[in-house]
Amino acid sequence: MKLSVLVNEGPYQHQSADSAIQFTKAALAKGHEVFRVFFYHDGVNNGTSYAVPPQDDRNITQEWTSLAKEHDLDLVVCIAAAQRRGILDENESKRQGKDGFNIAEGFRISGLGQLIEAGIQSDRLVIFGD
């Protein structure tokens, strides 16, 4: 089955972020295809490289990055939600006149059209968070 995942909650704020990554890992382990993981609302905070959790805590951003490398996942962060929360890639940083960027490795910024495409291309769109 071809799946896409929508993550609406940030890491360390709500169980949804943990559930989304655990679901994605389980789906891949069972042989399902994950077409795209789309991060929206506070979920975009999963894609910041500036989060530094304590050493004895899980690093959800790093887990997504590793999973994306291992399975060639498309991790898409909503551009409007990301900008509102100060998450920028290199191009947006330059366009907005900012000094740096903080999108984590393996993530990319794009628009809501990517979410629509994920819903169309997938058998199921599984949503985590409000």
pLDDT digits (tens, 9 = 90+) for 5-28: 999 999 998 899 999 999 999 999
- Reported pTM: 0.96
Residue 78 annotated among the catalytic residues of the structure: yes
* pLDDT grade for 60, boundaries at 50, 70 and 90: very high
Could you please state the CATH topology (level 3) that the domain comprising 2-128 is classified under: Hypothetical Protein Ychn; Chain: A, (3.40.1260)
Residue 14: per-residue pLDDT = 87
Residue 10: per-residue pLDDT = 95
Q: Which element (helix H / strand E) includes 45?
A: none
Separation of alpha carbons 91 and 63, rounded Å:
24
> What contacts 38, CB < 8 A, 6 or more positions away?
4, 5, 6, 7, 76, 78, 114, 115, 118
Residue found under tokens 């990319």? 108
Percent share of the chain, pLDDT over 70:
100
Q: Find the catalytic residue in 78, 79, 87, 88.
A: 78
Residue 83, Cβ density class (10 Å: 0-12 exposed, 13-18 middle, ≥19 buried): middle
Average pLDDT, the chain: 96
